[in-house]
């Protein structure tokens, strides 16, 4: 079994643990696994753990970014006509926009906004907020 595969199986096993007793048993298992490795195998194991840790960090950062993106919009999602934004600011369809907003799979890949598209969306929301504010000021002027 290659080292990355071994690490993945151990990681999956660790994630499935539910009690302190199971985690203690896993620690003993890990000591046993490591004690049976020679110096070269330990170095390979160490390098593989670093690779897996970096992968996990990358996945975690992507999840955090997605949560932050959705959190930033949660207050306005029900109040905005997203089809208008899709058409007028992106020149795209409502379904294209919805795929990215909801992370739907398109062509076997999770659809997401690129950094540039997120900037366009932010600019669109700023433009709309300015337009809404201007409309509110005009209403107040005409209602007085």
Answer yes or no: are the C-beta atoms of 124 and 85 closer than 8 Å: yes
Q: Which of 32, 51, 74 is the last residue of a domain?
A: 74
Q: Are residues 92 and 69 in the same domain?
A: no
C-alpha pair distances (Å), 135 with each of 5, 31, 114, 132, 144: 60, 68, 31, 5, 14
Domain boundary among 74, 99, 132: 74
State how far the Cα of 125 lies from the Cα of 75, in Å rounded to an integer: 13
Burial 6-34 (b: 16+ CB within 10 A, else e): ebeebeeeeeeeeeeeeeeeeeeeeeeee
Q: How many domains does the chain have?
A: 2
Could you tell me the residue range of the domain that residue 50 belongs to? 1-74
Reported pTM:
0.66
- pLDDT tens digits for range 23-75: 999 999 999 999 999 999 999 999 999 999 999 999 999 889 889 998 999 98
Residues 1 and 70 in one domain: yes
């Amino acid at each position: 079994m290659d080292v990355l595969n071994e690490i993945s199986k151990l990681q999956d096993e660790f994630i499935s643990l539910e009690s302190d007793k199971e985690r203690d048993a896993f620690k003993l298992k890990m000591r046993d696994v490591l004690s049976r490795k020679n110096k070269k195998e330990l170095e390979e194991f160490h390098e593989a753990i670093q690779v897996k840790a970096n992968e996990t960090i990358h996945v975690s950062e992507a999840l955090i970014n997605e949560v932050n993106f959705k959190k930033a919009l949660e207050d306005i999602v029900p109040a905005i006509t997203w089809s208008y934004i899709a058409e007028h600011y992106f020149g795209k369809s409502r379904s294209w926009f919805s795929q990215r907003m909801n992370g739907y799979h398109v062509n076997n890949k999770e659809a997401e906004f690129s950094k540039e598209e997120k900037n366009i969306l932010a600019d669109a929301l700023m433009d709309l907020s300015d337009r809404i504010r201007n409309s509110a000021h005009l209403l107040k002027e005409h209602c007085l």
